[in-house]
Structure 1
Amino acid sequence: MTEQEKNTGAAEKTGKEGIKASNPLRLVIMAVAVLGALIWGGSKIWHSFLYVETDNAQIEGDIYPVISRIPGRVDKVLTTDNQKVAKGDTLVLLDPVDYEVRRDMASAALENARASVAAAGEAALAAAATGQKLGADLRRSENLRRQDVISPSEFDAVKAGALSSSAQHAAAESQRKAAAAQLKMREAELRNAELQLSYTAITAPADGHVSKKNVQPGQYVAPGQQLIALVGSRKLWVVANFKETQLENLRPGQKVSIRVDAYPEKEFEGEVESISSGTGARFALLPPDNASGNFVKVAQRVPVRILFTGKPDNERKLAAGMNVVVEVRVK
């Protein structure tokens, strides 16, 4: 046997011994892998019995539209995008000149109405005094006429004067009431003018952050036009759209684990507040009508409102519209 054949035989023998030695190690690795897979799969199955999960969920918040109640030209914009504001802060100023003129005109009209009321009141008092005097003259004339001291024509003249004075007094009272009504109208006009002037300062309806600013100085705005979208900062919640097949054991008050895509390492605590009475498709702009055409059964999504219950995390800012994954413990 040559030296080469000896080396070849030795190598084959060594290889066979290596394969025999590696078989137990391979079996152990395979056993560990299978056991791990079984444990992992079992934990997932057990988890599915205890929890229902969906990634069709987003953070929601109150969005307040900041609108103009009057037409006008924008004079100043006192806020910027993403700025935090408090309720009552002035955000936009409209040009107040036109409304100041209207207020001054209404104020002058009110003063004129007050003067008219005073004049009408004096006229009514004068007519009342004249009526009292002529009434007394009429009573004396009646006594004198019964005594035949005055002639019928003199009595008729006194009686006509008394009747005329009574009519004048009634007319003066009507004018006084009309002037008083005119005064109330002028007061209302002044209040309305002052109110319109106050609307030139557009303020924040709630605490929050400016999220969408659609106004610039010099722009002309119309009543009802949205200038700014303000996202409320006091309260955020999650709307999770669960499949209808997941709702069997879902109840208000159940604990929820919330994972935000922006902060995957952080888990937030929550609680189911309520379950919608209608599916998301039912409230769509064009809801499906399965009564016409061919019916295709599709699993519907039902919105579930979830509140954050844990302590606020000031380091991780949550914003409306963020995607989240929620897990509700149902058992």
Structure 2
Amino acid sequence: MSGTITKLASGIAVLAGAIGVGVVLYAWRLPPFNDGTQVTDNAYVAGKVTIIAPQLAGYIVRISVADYDEVSEGQLILQLDDRIYRERLEQAQAQLLAQQSSLSSSAQSERSAEARIKSAEASAQAAQVSRDNAEVNAKRQQELSERGTSSRASLDDANVALSQAQATYAQTRANLEVARQDLQTVIVDRETLEADVKAAEAVVELAKIDLSNTRITAPVAGKLGEVGARVGAYVTPGTQLTSIVTADR
């Protein structure tokens, strides 16, 4: 009887040991309980995540993707209302044209000022010749008058002519100086206008950048996350719209 009990106890002990081993193998997912499938509650995406956000404010008018879509680099994700930004670009371009027109007018003014200088120089040279001739004539009449071979009236006429010639010469010299100052003013103004044109060009480029930023595109190829945007929603710079996960290579 005691032998039977001993055998039964030994069998129970062996069975308990086998069950214990089985429990350990199952808990650790070791063969034969491992089917090759790995399961974890702490999963993560092995890749680089790029956050997609607008650089300017506006209303969403179009969404071209869905949650978890595969996208290529440069593919349109969504479109913001671009009417204001198009208007700003047109205004900037119009201002640039106006500044360029003013600069062109300045170039024409410079050529005109140079022409006036040449004309004033010619007038001054002619007036100088007339003054010199009047001086010679007045001196000759003075000598003749002193010798008594010329009338006083002739001397007076010569002196009057000399005074007029001197006044005319002085006026032509003043006109020449004014023409030179006009040219200098045009040159100075042109430098300002050139700066205005460069500033207008910069405004146009900024307006173009803003307009292009109304199209939010994928900066890289990858898989989208959830798209947290809806048509008609108003977004501001930095608002997270979605994300793109790229393979970590």
Same fold? TM cut 0.5: yes
Q: CA deviation at 1:176?
A: 2.4
Contact 2:46 2:247 in 1 (8 A): no
8 Å contact from structure 1 (residues 207, 234) kept in 2: no
Alignment check: 8 A CA contact 2:46 2:248 kept: no
Three-state SS of the structure 2 residue aligned to 1:212 is: coil
Deviation at residue 114 of structure 1 after TM alignment = 2.0
User: What pairs up with 1:155-166 in 2 under 5 angstroms?
Assistant: 155-166=169-180
Residue 234 of structure 1 aligns with which residue?
Answer: 247
SS of residue in 1 equivalent to 2:231? coil
- Contact preservation (8 Å) 1:86, 1:206: yes
Could you tell me the TM-score, scaled by structure 1's length?
0.53
TM-score, length of structure 2 as denominator length? 0.68
Alignment of 1:117-196 (within 5 A): 117-139=103-125, 141-142=127-128, 145=131, 148=135, 151-196=165-210
Secondary structure of 1:191's aligned partner? helix
Greater share of helix = 2
Per the TM alignment, residue 174 of structure 1 is displaced from its structure 2 partner at its CA by 2.2
Matched, 1:99 2:85: yes
The yes-or-no answer on 1:86 pairing with 2:72 is yes
Q: Give the partner amino acid of 2:97.
A: E
Following TM superposition, where does structure 1 have runs of at least 4 consecutive aligned residues deviating by more than 4 angstroms? 23-30, 55-60, 139-147
Larger radius of gyration: 2
Q: Distance in 1 between matches of 2:89 and 2:8?
A: 99
> What SS does the aligned partner of 1:73 have?
strand
1:206 to partner: Cα distance: 1.9
1:59 and 1:196, CA in 2 relative to 1: closer, same or farther beyond 3 A? closer
Deviation at 1:92, TM superposition (A): 0.9
Residue 226 of structure 2 aligns to a residue whose secondary structure is strand
- Rounded to whole Å, the distance in 2 between the matches of 1:162 and 1:75 is 65
Q: Secondary structure of 2:73's match?
A: coil
Q: Secondary structure at the match of 2:229?
A: coil
Counterparts of 1:109-120 in structure 2, within 5 Å, are 109-120=95-106
Judged with a 3 Å threshold, the aligned counterparts in structure 2 of structure 1 residues 19 and 222 are, in CA distance, closer, same or farther, namely closer
Cα deviation, residue 146, structure 1:
5.2
Report the Cα distance in structure 2 between the residues aligned to 1:88 and 1:220, rounded to whole angstroms. 23
Count of residues in Structure 1 that have an aligned counterpart in Structure 2 = 200
C-alpha deviation, 1:87, in angstroms: 2.0
Q: Percent identity?
A: 22
Residues 1:73 and 2:59 are matched in the alignment = yes
Counterpart for residue 94 of structure 2: 108
The alpha-carbon distance between structure 1 residues 228 and 57, as it changes in their structure 2 partners (threshold 3 A), is closer
Deviations 1:124-182 (A, max 9, x none): 11101111232344355456545636632122111100000001111122232222222
Structure 2 distance, partners of 1:92, 1:118, is 42
Residue 59 of structure 1, CA deviation: 5.2
For 2:63 and 2:12, the matched residues in 1 are separated by 74
Query: Which residues of structure 1 form unaligned runs of 5+?
Result: 1-14, 41-54, 237-331
C-alpha distance in 2 between matches for 1:182 and 1:220: 35
CA distance in 1 between counterparts of 2:87 and 2:178 reads: 45
Matches of 1:189 and 1:57 in 2, distance apart?
49
> Please, which runs of 5 or more residues in structure 2 have no aligned partner?
26-40, 137-161
Structure 2 partner of 1:62: 48
SS in 1 for 2:225: strand
Q: Which residue of 1 aligns with 2:221?
A: 207
Residue 117 of structure 1 deviates from its aligned partner by 1.5
Please list, as runs of the form range in 1=range in 2, the aligned pairs for 1:250-329 lying within 5 A after superposition.
none
Structure 2 counterpart of 1:196, one-letter code: D
CA distance in 2, matches of 1:210, 1:144: 91
